Amino acid sequence: MLDFIICDNDKWIVTEVEKMINSIMINNNHKYRIHLFYDYNDQFDDITNQKLENKIYILDIEVNGKTGIDIAREIRAKDQLAHIIFLSQYENKYKDGIFQSTIRYFAFVNKNDLQLLKTRIEELLQELKQVNVVCFNDRGDLYTLKKDSILFVTTNKRKSRIVTDYDHFDVNKTLKELQDLLGNSFIKTKNSYLINKKRVLMYSLKERTITFDNHQKESAISKKYSKETFYHFMTNEENIM
């Protein structure tokens, strides 16, 4: 899921950027949401505090006495993975200051050149495809998930559930199909469980449980797979209970 978060006090700009994103995404088949704001208010703060997997901010530099640069600093203090694009019609006034700042951002675009904004968004979407993500099509829905955000996958006879830090997704894939997509970092510890061994904080063979680094605990070890589970973690003895 991609979350586009737009803030600009010019409603025409917000509308045009929203239309642009919709036109770009209609050709990408990614699931996405657009959040519109006209001020850096409490509602905007609320969404910056939400744990959403792929946030793309498009921020006006000047909004009702507040600066997008300061807002970007606040975002970075909470979220190192978000992507930030600055918008401003005062390019000469702010560009050097942004370049000299320590804020990590993806692009600075003049409001008078929205075609460039379209290009930068397309470049960002292409870059997201190159990072450590898994992409797959499930009956017309295209999923793009960061592998490191996935805790585990569990399954029943009909569907598999991918559980992440942020949400869960029920998909029409078998555990074997998902294991092939996810790679060697994901191991089977039970007939119905595939776990991300990079996210394991500890496991207990006695209790047959796995505790993840967000402290979520799952009864995810079967007797059949206990030896294999031990083998995968034997080099990390501090994880064993």
Can you tell me whether residue 241 is helix, strand or coil? coil
**What is the structure's pLDDT at 233?**
64
**What is the structure's pLDDT at 239?**
47
Cβ–Cβ under 8 Å, residues 152 and 163:
yes
Cβ–Cβ under 8 Å, residues 39 and 64:
yes
Phi-psi region of 215 (alpha: psi -120 to 50; beta: other; left: phi over 0): left
pLDDT tens per residue, range 83-134: 999 998 766 666 665 655 667 778 888 898 999 999 999 999 888 776 677 8
- Please name the amino acid found at residue 159: K
pTM: 0.60
pLDDT tens per residue, range 160-205: 999 998 889 999 999 999 998 898 889 999 999 999 998 999 988 8
In the structure, what pLDDT confidence band is assigned to residue 234 with cuts at 50, 70 and 90? Answer: low
Q: How many CB atoms lie within 10 A of CB 198?
A: 13
Q: Average pLDDT of 60-82?
A: 85
Domain architecture of the chain: domains with CATH: 2-130 (3.40.50.2300), 134-239 (2.40.50.1020)
DSSP state of 213: T
What percent of the chain stands above pLDDT 70? 89
Q: How far is CA 241 from the centre of its chain?
A: 32
Whole-number Å distance between alpha carbons of 172 and 230:
30
Whole-number Å distance between alpha carbons of 33 and 36:
10
